[in-house]
Structure 1
Amino acid sequence: MNNIAKAFVAAKREFAPALKTSTNPHFKSKYADLAGCLEAVNEALLNQGIALLQETSEDATGVTVETVFMHESGETIRGGKLHVPASKQDPQGYGSALTYARRYSVMAACGIAAEDDDGNAASRKAPTVDVSTYVSSINGCENLEDLKAKFAIAITACGTDLQAKAKVIAAKDARKADL
């Protein structure tokens, strides 16, 4: 467990919040969809040599999902099984239960929460971490290895400041695209 434990901790430092970008038409509320949850963690996990798998099984009343992390060394961490009953006993009911289970399983296994990307987030106070130096450092990276190292330093410096993290992640993504 030494390899995957170290790699998972390093990846966790880079996890982003799952943004609430989808709207539930029945309740007129926003939520983080499955794609947003996976987007918040996949790149960080892969950067550390970890693949995220979701094992699924069905039963007479719904679906069960377990998020599994597999390190390139062959070591694995299992996130525990989550059962979600299907609201209807038809393909749509099972599909909905599966998506719901996968979304909540990955959020629980990764320890991430859904975060608003609307007015609530915008109305928070300005970032307390000045990331301009880190962003400049990221923008000056000449290769992906340098980018990875400087991003790790910058994201750690952001602490719990989500706005600062978002700026650092945006700078990293832009520089990575250029490289």
Structure 2
Amino acid sequence: MSLETVLLHKSGEYISSTIDVPVATANDPQAYGSTLTYDDDGKSATVTVEDRCSEIFACQTIDELQGSEHEAQHRLAQ
């Protein structure tokens, strides 16, 4: 399963990011729901939604926003 996040600015500019998320059991709606809801290794809990929103809103340019997204992905990969 892939999960895509799209950040759209009112100007029409956007960035998107896609990650592959492994599903424990194929063709099992419960497994898909659990995969979307929980991150077994806790990586997604390292940054709160509020912290991530603050990082995003602090960006003044699309380049800063892309850099912020790259840093967030790097944190998740660790």
Query: If the length of structure 2 is used for normalisation, what is the TM-score?
Result: 0.44
Taking structure 1 as the reference length, the TM-score comes to 0.21
Determine which structure has the larger strand proportion and give its number: 1
Find the structure with the greater CA-based Rg: 1
